[in-house]
Amino acid sequence: MALYSEKVMDHFTNPRNVGKIDDADGIGEVGNAKCGDIMKIYLKIENDIIVDVKFNTFGCGSAIASSSMATELIKGQPLSKALELTNKAVAEALDGLPAHKMHCSVLAEEAIRAAIKDYYDRHGIEYDKTLFPDPHDEEEEHRGEEN
């Protein structure tokens, strides 16, 4: 299949870490059903380490593959490492995404950040606010990226 790399197809057809965590410590949801993709990340955190992570995604093949790869990349990692994860790293780990699908990797990065922020907020943990820019209109941003 020429549309996606073998790695994207592998993560799309056999996604890792699909599901939910009932007693999650942090949950992040980004995207918009109107635009065709929503990503939801669940984190279980112990001593600043992501001990478990699950995702639910509504979206195209690359959105599901990006979610799967992103969860793989942060599982077992300290939060500081997870916060450093960029969309580029997700795309590269998937052996690349078509140009018009790069926003899927952006969603994965944003979903993880949103989940970590949720963890900090819920647990009253102090954090560097600049790491988490104000929530913006996701639809707007989503559109802006492609144009």
Partner 1 sequence: MTKVIYADNAATTAMSDKAIEAMTPYFKEVYGNPSSLHTVGQVAKEALESARGKVAKCLNCEPSEIYFTSGGSESDNQCIRSAALQGARKGKKHIITTAFEHHAVLHTLKKLEKEGFEVTYLDVHSNGLVTAEEVKAAIRGDTALVTVMFANNEVGTIQPIAEIGKVCRETGVIFHTDAVQAAGHIPVDVKAMNIDMLSISAHKFHGPKGVGALYCRRGLPLFTFIEGGAQERGKRAGTENIAGIVGMSAALEEACSKLKENGEYLTRLREKLIDGLLKIPHSKLNGDRSRRLPGNVNMCFEGVEGESLLLLLDAKGICASSGSACTSGSLDPSHVLLALGLPHEVAHGSLRLSLSEANTEEDIDYIVEEVPKVIEYLRNMSPVWEELEKGIRKHLI
Residues that bind partner 1 (CB under 8 A): 1, 3, 9, 12-13, 15, 18-19, 29, 33-40, 55-61, 63-64, 100-101, 142-143, 146
Closest distance of CB 126 from partner 1, Å: 29
In the bound state with partner 1, the residue whose beta carbon lies nearer, of 19 and 135, is 19
Q: Which sequence positions are flagged as catalytic?
A: 35, 104
DSSP letter string over 26-95?
EEEEEEEGGGTEEEEEEEEEETTEEEEEEEEEES-HHHHHHHHHHHHHHTT-BHHHHHT--HHHHHHHTT
Q: Round the CA-based radius of gyration of the chain to a whole number and report it.
A: 14
Minimum Å gap between C-beta 77 and partner 1 is: 23
Residue 32, token pair as written in the block: 């918009």
Closest to partner 1 by CB, 34 vs 122, is 34
